[in-house]
Structure 1
């Protein structure tokens, strides 16, 4: 009779310090962290790390605090779309994606110095590379792949993710300009992004107008889904000149977030990113003119009489 071989995995001791590296931690603790990370679909490169998953953060506390993990999850699928006519041009979604990646490049000297690349898959040749430095995106990191059909773009994105190994230097992110996308295709991309640990940012754009509005509302496996639109800017007084337009304003609608809630923000462009802007809503005249509030009613429902001297 063959005797079964038993492997006992030690359980982590209470004395394990949070600052220990995964190699110096008890095997039981590392295995447990790996299981939890796999259940939460965290990037494989961050398994066993106490710092949590890497994220693409917006640099705005109100948005990053609202998102699970403090930003856009690293090895996951995220979807961006414009509104109205911008569903075809996708200028604002492309600008937002470029700024998110540019911010990551500025905050990550390793990627900036070691030559990590961003694969941008598109069906049109209208990506203006000279505008990327204004978003902090160094064009030297750009790999632009032009394809003819939507199916070719989906295939190229998935194959690029499958060629990337977790933790290996190579792709910083994959960006794809996509039209039609069904639930099965989005699941394949989400699984490939999870396995590779590379953030995958889809920009939804197409020239089919009303049909595109229907397509972007169909179910998707993306972890977050965003709608980005232009918002009216506030004027700036510049005497003796008339009032000039203020900073560009965008409206960000997070209308789907796995593990989170939908929300809307109004943001303004700055030289190094964004800042949160206040919604300009009309208020009642007494509030706007700072008029004194009317006297409160007494217990019997009658207002107190004014004292006379």
Structure 2
């Protein structure tokens, strides 16, 4: 299917969901005080481009970055456009991170240029809650266009930078925030088994604020991360297990 045909089909699908009157917010907080306090807007700006990459090229880190994006999109309003280069998304996995299949419109692009064009079209439509794309390369001019489209449509743009040659977040970008996501050891359990997955989130850059690094528990089925709970036995006098603070 040609790029023109893909964009025409996308316009038809977006027209079908137009005019539902969703309420928009300026930012999407994580509801984790240490993370939100580090973000200049108190959360992820919803009229901006944000870039995410796995900390390494491993399948584990790539999956963690993908699920991090799914959790963000799950907590945004309304339909989500997800533009891919390859058919490797696992819908049940996205649902476990809170992103229900009926909310997702999938588009497949032949190359990075077509993918970025489809993202820009979706962002300018104003009928979507989030637009996600997966690329290996996106130049400064392309990310500027995505940022301007996100501002104009007031729709969050999420760009997953796949590993290729060099650092996926090394090139200049107009993104408001840039994140690395890595797998971290899960919590020990009092019985044999694996606890809730954990991630190391690194805010490598943001406009108007500092970076930061946190260990969090992976998204639950509402798209929310959590601060790790203390899962070791301690005497009641010592205060017991620390409570979990969900995003």
Which TM class, normalised by the smaller chain length? 0.7 to 0.9
User: Aligned residue for 1:135?
Assistant: 97
Gaps of 5+ in 1: 1-51, 105-110, 165-169, 280-309
User: Aligned residue for 2:144?
Assistant: 187
Q: After superposition, what is the alpha-carbon deviation per residue over 1:59-94, rounded to whole angstroms, capped at 9, x for unaligned?
A: 322111211121000110000000222389721111
Q: Quick check: 1:267 aligned with 2:216?
A: yes
Quick check: 1:81–1:204 contact (8 Å CA) kept in 2?
yes
Quick check: 1:173–1:200 contact (8 Å CA) kept in 2?
yes
Quick check: 2:61–2:183 contact (8 Å CA) kept in 1?
no
For residue 132 of structure 1, report the CA deviation from its aligned partner. Answer: 2.3
TM-score by length of 2: 0.76
User: Aligned residue for 1:47?
Assistant: none
For residue 234 of structure 1, report the CA deviation from its aligned partner. Answer: 3.3
Quick check: 1:57–1:100 contact (8 Å CA) kept in 2?
no
Q: Secondary structure at the match of 1:236?
A: coil
Q: Quick check: 1:237 aligned with 2:190?
A: yes
User: Aligned residue for 1:120?
Assistant: 82
User: Aligned residue for 2:238?
Assistant: none
Q: Secondary structure at the match of 2:155?
A: coil
Quick check: 1:89–1:205 contact (8 Å CA) kept in 2?
no
Q: Quick check: 1:83 aligned with 2:40?
A: no
Quick check: 2:70–2:94 contact (8 Å CA) kept in 1?
yes
User: Aligned residue for 1:217?
Assistant: 170
For residue 182 of structure 1, report the CA deviation from its aligned partner. Answer: 1.3
Q: Pick from 134, 138, 142: which aligns with 1:177?
A: 134
Quick check: 1:87–1:204 contact (8 Å CA) kept in 2?
no
CA RMSD of aligned residues (A): 2.2
For residue 181 of structure 1, report the CA deviation from its aligned partner. Answer: 1.2
Change (3 A) 1:85 1:215: closer
Q: After superposition, what is the alpha-carbon deviation per residue over 1:177-200, rounded to whole angstroms, capped at 9, x for unaligned?
A: 111111111111111111111100
Q: Secondary structure at the match of 1:276?
A: coil
Q: Secondary structure at the match of 2:47?
A: coil
Gaps of 5+ in 2: 1-23, 231-247
User: Aligned residue for 2:205?
Assistant: 256
| C-alpha distance in 1 between matches for 2:143 and 2:97 | 28
Question: 1:9-20 residue pairs with structure 2 within 5 A?
Answer: none
Give the total of aligned pairs: 205
| C-alpha distance in 2 between matches for 1:88 and 1:191 | 32
User: Aligned residue for 1:95?
Assistant: 67
Quick check: 2:199–2:216 contact (8 Å CA) kept in 1?
yes
Q: Quick check: 1:69 aligned with 2:41?
A: yes
User: Aligned residue for 1:162?
Assistant: 124
Q: Secondary structure at the match of 1:186?
A: helix
Change (3 A) 1:56 1:125: same
